[in-house]
Amino acid sequence: MEKLRSLQNDQGNRNDPSYVAFNDTERLIGDPAKNQVAMNPTNTVFDAKRLIGRKFSDEVVKADKKHWPFNIIDDSGRPKIQVEFKGASKTFYAEEISSMILGKMKET
């Protein structure tokens, strides 16, 4: 039986934080995004998985929204994350943010 092993990311860590940050020039994922959260809180998304499968009116979404520095908007009853990216307002569903994180993990 083959043993499971944990792979290192490009920063040398064995786990990647689920953070995605957007700024004027690039999208950062994992440790680089987490490391700059204090400088760019409204455009750094974390805990997005908590929104998957929930309605905007869900009590959990309402409670979480109070603690997040990034904006959550109502898109036909679904919560959508709103950030500024390359000088423009962009919106993403939580599934899209999770996909960005998984894509980055697949690369390393």
For residues 58 and 78, the answer to whether their CB atoms sit within 8 Å is: no
Q: What is the pLDDT of residue 9?
A: 57
CA angle 36, 99, 84 (to 5 degrees): 45
Residue 84 has φ and ψ, to the nearest 5°, of: -100, 125
Of 96, 105, 86, nearest in space to 45 by CA:
96
Please identify which residue in the block is written with the tokens 């908007």: 73
pLDDT in tens, the chain (108 residues): 677 665 565 666 666 789 999 999 999 999 999 999 999 999 999 999 999 999 999 999 999 999 999 999 999 999 999 999 999 999 999 999 999 998 887 776
> pTM for the complete prediction?
0.84
Tallying the residues shown for the chain, one arrives at 108
Instruction: Please report the sign of the dihedral spanned by the C-alpha atoms of residue 11, residue 106, residue 39, residue 24.
Output: positive
> What element of type H or E holds 99?
helix 94-107
